[in-house]
């Protein structure tokens, strides 16, 4: 039986998300006849190996997109803005992990478990949401379906993987330096991250919110199809390697039922419930590295909001927050027949 195979390019292949993209394509047995690794000129020639896959990095340039069916961008917004249209010109569908296209009216912003139908509207580019947004939606969406989301408040506890490989390296170096009694160098973050919390993720905007905090509001509105949704978020960088955690307090249009809420979260394909106060069971970042589903716990009626629920959610920033969601978009394009391979192979 013939199986359609696709040629895939990864822009930013040597970064933390790019390397996870390679691993997930292999682990999930995506039907790829080629995985073309693309990065900056200084990374050209490097090899990336995972299980039976070995690939050599090429320099990212317009001609490098020739013959590709899908190109996943996991680099800066500037690179996506400049080169994503070049990939589309050459017949590829672009899945972009940067923020540059997310709020563009002509670009679907997709979490496949929630709004996969929006993929049919793509015009060559599909945007993948911000990491904290994707993870938050895994808890908010099933509750929205059950009770009708009105507004929410979120405090995030974001792992250093959100700053890429450099952030992960800085945390590790600072911990080692602390143990050795040495001074702690700061390069990635404005303050020491080891044994500390930094209440700033991304740059500050007018009004005092950071860019990261506003993403939760505007991206959430677009993904859920709720243009009047209200949200207030505080994003905090914490000394955790790669899983983001969030405390969310949400208010709904209809009266909430705790048993129904728990069932909605447990039955949703993107989440699992870990919530047993008697045994001190709840999701924690150390248990959610390299997990497909996000964990939800501490589910309870909110004591301050009418028709409110409070909950805690944890998800792998490099997976559901970035690489996994992009791969799931590619899988959904294939499953829905929204992409044609340039070359079919057995």
Q: Which residues are catalytic?
A: 131, 244
Burial class (CB in 10 A: 0-12, 13-18, 19+), 179: exposed
- Give the tokens for residue 17: 């998300």
* DSSP secondary structure of 95-119: EE-SSTTTT-TTS-B--HHHHGGGG
Report the alpha-carbon distance of residue 43 to residue 13 in Å, rounded: 9
Buried b (16+ CB within 10 A) or exposed e, 30-42: bebbebbbbbeee
Rounded Cα–Cα distance for residues 68 and 274 (Å): 41
Within the chain, strands assigned E span: 6-11, 32-39, 47-50, 53-56, 58-59, 70-73, 93-96, 125-127, 149-158, 230-237, 243-252, 271-273, 294-301, 308-316
Q: Which of 220, 254, 248, 255 is nearest to 234 (CA)?
A: 248
Structure token digits, residue 268: 């949703």
Give the closest residue to 229 by CA, choosing from 306, 129, 151: 151
Give the strand pairing for 243-252 and 230-237.
unpaired
């Amino acid at each position: 039986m013939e199986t359609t195979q696709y040629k895939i390019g990864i822009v930013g292949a040597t970064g933390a998300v790019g390397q996870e993209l390679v691993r997930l394509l292999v682990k999930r047995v995506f039907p790829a006849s080629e995985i073309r690794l693309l990065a900056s000129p200084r990374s050209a020639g490097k090899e990336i190996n995972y299980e039976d896959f070995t690939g050599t990095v090429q320099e990212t340039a317009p001609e490098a997109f020739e013959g590709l069916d899908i190109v996943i961008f996991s680099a800066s917004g500037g690179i996506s803005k400049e080169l994503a249209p070049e990939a589309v010109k050459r017949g590829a569908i672009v899945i972009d992990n940067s923020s540059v296209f997310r709020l563009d009216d002509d670009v679907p912003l997709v979490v496949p478990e929630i709004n996969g139908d929006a993929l049919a509207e793509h015009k060559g580019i599909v945007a993948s949401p911000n990491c904290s947004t994707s993870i938050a939606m895994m808890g908010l969406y099933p509750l929205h379906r059950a009770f009708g989301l009105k507004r929410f408040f979120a405090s995030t506890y974001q792992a250093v993987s959100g700053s890429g490989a450099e952030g992960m390296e800085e945390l590790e170096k600072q911990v080692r330096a602390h143990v050795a009694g040495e001074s702690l160098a700061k390069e990635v973050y404005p303050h020491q991250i080891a044994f500390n919390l930094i209440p700033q993720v991304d740059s500050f905007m007018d009004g005092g919110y950071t860019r990261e905090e506003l993403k939760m509001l505007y991206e959430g509105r677009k993904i859920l199809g709720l243009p009047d949704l209200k949200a207030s978020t505080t994003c905090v960088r914490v000394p955790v390697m790669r899983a983001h955690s969030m405390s969310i307090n949400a208010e709904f249009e209809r009266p909430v039922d705790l048993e129904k809420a728990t069932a909605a979260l447990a039955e949703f394909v993107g989440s699992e419930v870990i919530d047993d106060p008697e045994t001190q069971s709840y999701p924690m970042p150390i248990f959610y590295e390299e997990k497909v589903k996000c964990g939800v716990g501490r589910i309870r009626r909110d004591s301050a909001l009418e028709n409110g629920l409070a909950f805690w959610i944890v998800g792998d920033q490099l997976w559901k927050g970035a690489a996994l969601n992009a791969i799931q978009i590619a899988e959904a394009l294939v499953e829905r027949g929204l992409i044609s391979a340039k070359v079919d192979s057995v």
